[in-house]
Amino acid sequence: MEFEWDERKRAEIIADRALDFVDAFRFFDGRSASHQPTPRGEEERWKTTAIIEGVHFTLVWCWRGEKVRVITMRRAHEKEVRTYRQLHGG
């Protein structure tokens, strides 16, 4: 699986949240995750929530050709954590 992103946005997220888009692969590495559509206009976007190092995080992404385009990464909102727990427990 290949990933791409806007480098300026990546730098903002590193500075603001201490998260790095290079870790996006973790949301697709076989660990438990919840995937929910989150459309934006005509673009089909997804948000994926997973536990990474004991913390729930959410990745917002879309398909761009055969690559996953990372839009943002953040700590999961409470509703996303509840959805994850309903699917996977914990």
SS3 31: coil
Looking up tokens 């990933």 gives 3
pLDDT tens digits, one per residue of 29-54: 999 999 999 988 888 999 999 999 99
CATH numeric code, 2-88: 3.30.2310
Domain segments of the chain as ranges? 2-88
The confidence score (pLDDT) of residue 40 equals 83
Which amino acid makes up residue 24? A
pLDDT tens digits, one per residue of 49-90: 999 999 999 999 999 999 999 999 999 999 999 999 999 986
